[in-house]
Structure formats: C-alpha cells, structure tokens
Structure 1
Amino acid sequence: MDFYQNKLTNAESESNLDPLTGFYNRRFLEKKMSELDRYSIILFDIDHFKAVNDQFGHQAGDEVLKFLSELVKRETRASDLCFRIGGEEFLIILPETDIHITKSVAERIRKITEYTLSPSGKPITVSMGISSFPAAGDSFSELMNKTDQALYKAKQEGRNRVVTAV
C-alpha cells in the first residue's frame, strides 16, 4: 500500500510544479490562496525576453528561465511560494510579510539579476509590481489586477524597476 501511496503523492506533487523551473504552477496557486490571510506578492517578468529567444534560440531562453528561477529560490525564504504563471511571468507570495520587506526582497532580486551574467552571456533585467493583502485589495483577484497594473507601469517607466500597487 505504501508503494501506491508514494506514487500517488509524487504524481500529485508533479502536477503542481512547472517542469522547467521547479516553481509551482497556476493550478496550485488557486489551491494555496484560500489558505492565506495576510501576505504580499511580487509579480514580475523578464524584460525583452522575446529578444533572448530570437537572438539565442528557445533552448537558451529556457536556460535563462532556469537561471532566473534558481536565483529567485536563493533569494527567497523557505516559506515563500514561487510560481511560474506564464511564459516569462512569475509570482512570489510572501506569507505574513508587509510591503516594506516585500519591496526590499524585490529590489534585491532585481539588482542581483541585473548584475549577474545569464546563460545568454549577458545580464537580464526584470520589471516588478508588488502589493500587499489585505491593504491593497479585498481579494486575491483584485490584488493581482492592481499588481499587474503596477508591473505594466514599471514597463512603461523604462523597465528594470519595482513599482508598488496603489
């Protein structure tokens, strides 16, 4: 019986993970959000990622995604939850964390990314939106929407920056 239980547990675990980055996927995100009362989020993506794929190929693009996910894992706590929610778009949920600590985590990730050579041979940059629940929204959906707007603003303002949702 233990053998089949282990197989089932492993299959369930794998169905919650993105195979490329090892981050959680959207399916797990929906399950997890109902368990949290107070948290902050960092929504970010790689600036000009299409250029990486176009110039170096999709395999190099995949290596850049792996590189970034490893960097993020090193710079976050064990209690933080990292998700790949789209091609080069990521989300970090920081349970029981206020916006000030979240901003410092985001800035640290942004700066390390900017100054570290990626597998493409060049540094990459990231644009980030951050927010905090319940201060910035009444629901996770509202929070994500506001944070996405902050991410868009970071892009509009020149990329490679952190913008706090209001």
Structure 2
Amino acid sequence: MVLVTLILGSSALLAIIVAVWVLLRNRALESEVLRDVLTGVGNRRGFEEFVGGLPDGTSLAVVMIDFDRFKQINDRYGHASGDEALVRVAAALHESATASYGDRARVFRLGGDEFVLSIEGADVLHASAVVERARGNVSMVLRRHERELTISCGIACSPTHCNDVSELLNYADRALYHAKRQGRDRTIIYSPTLFDVDAERDSRNILRILADALGAAVDAKDAYTHA
C-alpha cells in the first residue's frame, strides 16, 4: 500500500514538474516572439501587444526614433557594422530611459533603423529630458567606436495631444518627419501647427506644379505659332 502511494505520489510530482516546465517554456517562447532578435529589445509585435494592453486613460509618452543617414554606415563600413550600431543604440536608449522610469520605460525596434520609446507616466517635459539624455548617450557610444551617427526624434504624449495610442504614434511620426526636414540630429515635439506647415508646403508644391505646367503650355503655344 505504501509502495503504491509512493508510486502515485511520484507520478503526480512528475506531472506537476512537466506542467510547470511546459508553462515556463511557453512563456519563454512567447517572450522570444515579442523581442527583436538582433537588439534584444521589443519588436513591432511586442509594441502592438504592449499598447493593446494599456488601460484607457493611461498617461503615455511615445517617441519615434530614426537614425540619420544610416545607409551611409552600411555602405561605408558594411552591414555587420550597421548591426553593431543598432545594438549599441538600442542599449543606450534602454539605459537612458530606464534610469529614470525603470520598467515603465520600454524600447521597441519597429524595423530597420526605426525605434519607438514608450514611457508611462511621462509628460512632454520629462519625455524631452529622457530623449535628450538618450541622444547624448547614443552620440557618445558611437563616437567611442569611431562611428559618426546621430538620431532624430519625434515626441507625442497622451493625454496632452490625444488619447488614442495609434493616433499618438502617428503624431510622433509626424514630429519625427519634421525633425528630419529641419536638419536631422534633433528632437521635435508634436504640435497641431505641424499640420499647417504640411498644408503650406503642399500648397506651394501645387502652385509650383501649376506654374511649371502653365509655362510649358505657353512655350508649346509659342513654338506652334512660330512653326
């Protein structure tokens, strides 16, 4: 009877051990799926799952980050050097953000040389301070390895700019676009006036196209008249 009990007890213990192992293994696999293989930070899917799990009304700063002229690094030093730069920048971003906000700050690589930094509970002022510290750290790390590379950043915050996270990402991306247009190696905070700047630029482009078309039409008419 005692022997039977021991056997059954051993079987039950083994079953528990196997179940726990399977659970931990599945969690590890899920974690791997949400992480970027190269840099070790979260990937695009990880970011989507993270923001999808945020409760409504969460105070959140989103920072879109992009390397400036990253293609030149790959072309000049090779893709291995470019990958090394990505790894070092991801580490510098993570260190800079978590130094102030701990696990409330997360870094994700969306793809290529594009990253996004999310900081729960940060307003525009504090997010800007984190980003500028990160930009300084990135520059220092890359100079140490003889790589001249800078980053441009765009910031948008909830609820300051909007409450919808997907829209917040669009706003941060728009701010990043303007950081690139204004000379790179800088941070731009989203503002509704950025839409006005885009509208003005589009209007100028349309007017230029119309003027060119009109000029071409006049030239064609003159050529036809003198033919």
TM-score band by shorter chain is over 0.9
Corresponding residue number in structure 1 for 2:210: none
Corresponding residue number in structure 2 for 1:76: 97
Structure of greater relative contact order (alpha carbons < 8 Å, 6+ residues apart):
1
TM-score (norm. length: structure 1): 0.94
State the shift of 1:117 in Å: 3.0
State the shift of 1:26 in Å: 1.4
List alignment gaps of at least 5 residues for structure 1.
none
Corresponding residue number in structure 2 for 1:122: 147
How many residues in Structure 1 have an aligned counterpart in Structure 2? 166
CA distance in 2, matches of 1:29, 1:12: 13
Corresponding residue number in structure 2 for 1:4: 22
Q: Which amino acid aligns with 2:188?
A: V
CA distance in 1, matches of 2:127, 2:179: 16
Corresponding residue number in structure 1 for 2:117: 92
CA distance in 2, matches of 1:155, 1:148: 11
SS at match of 1:85: strand
1:2-45 CA deviation, whole Å, 9 max, x = no partner?
A: 12112111101100000111111111222211314111111111
Matched, 1:154 2:214: no
Contact residue 113 and residue 123 of structure 1 kept, 8 A: no
Contact residue 94 and residue 106 of structure 2 kept, 8 A: no
Contact residue 127 and residue 162 of structure 1 kept, 8 A: yes
CA distance in 2, matches of 1:118, 1:57: 17
User: Where in structure 1 do 4 or more consecutive aligned residues deviate above 6 Å?
Assistant: none
Q: Which moved more, 1:93-102 or 1:140-149?
A: 140-149
Corresponding residue number in structure 2 for 1:19: 37
Q: Which amino acid aligns with 2:166?
A: S
Higher helix share: 2
Identity of matched residues, %: 32
Corresponding residue number in structure 1 for 2:71: 50
Q: Which moved more, 1:137-146 or 1:150-159?
A: 137-146
Corresponding residue number in structure 2 for 1:102: 127
CA distance in 2, matches of 1:51, 1:123: 10
Relative distance call for 1:159 and 1:139 in structure 2 (3 A) is same
Q: Which amino acid aligns with 1:14?
A: E
CA RMSD of aligned residues (A): 1.4
CA distance in 2, matches of 1:51, 1:40: 30
